[in-house]
A = this chain, B = another copy of it.
Amino acid sequence: MTTERKPLNIGMVGYSFMGRAHSNAFRQVGQFFDVPYRPVLKAAGARNAAAVRAFADQWGYESVETDWRRLVARADIDVIDIASPNDTHHDIAIAAAEAGKMVLCEKPLGRTAAESGAMVAAVERAGVRNMVWYNYRRVPAVTLAKQMVDAGKFGRVFHYRAKFLQDWTMSTDLPQGGTGLWRLDASVAGSGVTGDLLAHCIDTAMWLNGPIAEVTAVTETFIKERKHQLTGATQPVTIDDASLFLARFANGSLATFEATRYARGHKALYTLELNGQHGSVFWDLHDLHRLHYFDHRDEGTTRGWRSVHITDGDHPYMKHWWVPGLQIGYEHSFIHQVADFLGSLDGDASAAPTFREARATDLVTDAVLASARSRQWEPATEA
C-alpha cells in the first residue's frame, strides 16, 4: 500500500442513484486498490437542502451546498462530479472546467451532441482532466472482452448485437416528471431509452468494435399519456419507450441494437455479443461476473461456448477483491473506474472515456433519433 496518499477533494452534484454509486466508489477504492490519491468527500451539492444534508450525513460528506455554482467556485474542491439529471450536465461541466476543476460527468454527456460538443471544447480549452461514467467498461468480464479484442482473438469482426431490456415503466399508472422520474421527461433527459440505455450499449460497442458509420432506426412511445407526479395533470409522454436500430460499423460489420422498457421479465438485461472470424464473445449484465467465449481454434469435437467465471486473480481488477469463485456486483464497476482515474492522475494519459470519447456516443444517439424521424439511414459520425 502507498503509505502517503495525496488527498483529492471531491465536490459531488446530485444525491440520487448515481450520487450514491459514485460516492460509494470514492469511499471504497482506498481499501482495495493501491492508488496514489485519497478521495476526500468534501462537499455535496443539490437544490433540496434537506435531501442533500441527509445524503451528506449518510455518506460522510463534510459540507453541503445548495447552489452548484457555489460548489464549483470553492477553492477547496479538486474534482466536480456531476451526478445530477441530464439537463444540468452542460452548464455545470463548462463552469467547472472554466474554474479549473477536474470534471467527472455521469452519462450521457449531453442531451445532444451539440451540448456535448460545447462541453468537450470547455474541458479541452481549460486543460482539465475529464471522464464520463460509462461504468460498464469496468465490469471485469467486459474489460476482459476488450483485452481479448485487442489481443486479436477474434480476427475480422462480422457481427455485433446489443440490447438493454427493462420492464419498469409498463404500468399505465406510473406517473412522470418530478423527483426520481425525470428519466420520463424528454426536456430533462434529452430522450428516453435512447440516451439512458442505448448510450451504454453504444459506448461499449464502439470501445470493442470501433466507430459506427451509419444507422437506421425506429422508436416508439407505447403509452402516450401519463399523469404528472406532482400536478396530477395528464400530459403527453415525450420520451421514446423503445428504440431499435441497425448499424454498419466502420470495419464493415453489421449490428442490431435495441433498448426498451417494455420487455416483461427483464430488469436490466444489457447483453452484448461480437462474432469474429476466430471466435465470439457474449456478456450480459444479469450475470455480470461471467463471460461467454467461443474459440473456433479449440479442438473440433470438444469445442463449445465457455462460461468463464470472472473471479480469478488474473482477471481484470479481481486480484483486489476476494478469492476465486466469489463474485462481485454492479457497484464495483464504479470503484474500478475511480481506481483507474486516480491511478492515471500522475501520468499523461487520461482515464477513459474522456468527454471527447463519450461524445461519439451522443453523435450515434442523435443519428438514431434523427433516423427514427426521417425513416432514412443516417450517418453516425461528424462529416
List residues of chain A with CB under 8 Å of any chain B CB. Answer: 1, 3, 17, 20-21, 23-24, 27-28, 30-31, 54, 57-60, 144, 147-148, 153, 158-159, 161, 163, 165-168, 170, 216-218, 220, 222, 242, 244-246, 248, 252, 254-256, 258, 260, 262-269, 275-280, 285-296, 298, 300-309, 311-312, 314-315, 321-332, 375-377
Q: A264-B296, A278-B264 are in contact. Are A324 and B168 (CB under 8 A)?
A: yes
**16 examples of A-B residue contacts, CB within 8 angstroms:** A216-B375, A218-B246, A263-B275, A264-B277, A264-B278, A264-B279, A265-B294, A267-B311, A268-B323, A268-B324, A268-B326, A289-B329, A303-B306, A304-B307, A306-B306, A376-B376
- Contact yes or no, B302 A309, CB < 8 A: no
Q: In the docked arrangement, what's the CA distance between A53 and B32, Å?
A: 16
Candidates B276, B302, B305; contact of A295 at CB < 8 Å: B302
Q: Secondary structure at chain A's binding surface: helix, strand, loop or mixed?
A: mixed
CB distance from A329 to the nearest CB of B (A): 4
Candidates B163, B298, B326; contact of A329 at CB < 8 Å: B326
Q: In the docked arrangement, what's the CA distance between A307 and B58, Å?
A: 34
Beyond the given pairs A288-B327, A326-B330, 13 more chain A to chain B contacts, judged by CB atoms under 8 angstroms and listed by A's residue number, are: A23-B31, A158-B242, A167-B275, A256-B258, A267-B323, A268-B325, A285-B325, A287-B290, A304-B307, A321-B331, A328-B329, A328-B330, A376-B376
Query: Which interface residue of A254, A267, A303 has the most chain B CB atoms within 10 A?
Result: A254
- Contact yes or no, A31 B59, CB < 8 A: yes
CB distance from A242 to the nearest CB of B (A): 6
CB distance from A284 to the nearest CB of B (A): 10
Count of chain copies: 4
- Chain B neighbourhood of A292, CB < 8 A: 304
A242: nearest chain-B partner, CB-CB = B254
Candidates B267, B322, B376; contact of A331 at CB < 8 Å: B322
Q: In the docked arrangement, what's the CA distance between A123 and B269, Å?
A: 47
- Chain B neighbourhood of A302, CB < 8 A: 144, 148, 153, 291, 293, 295, 306, 308
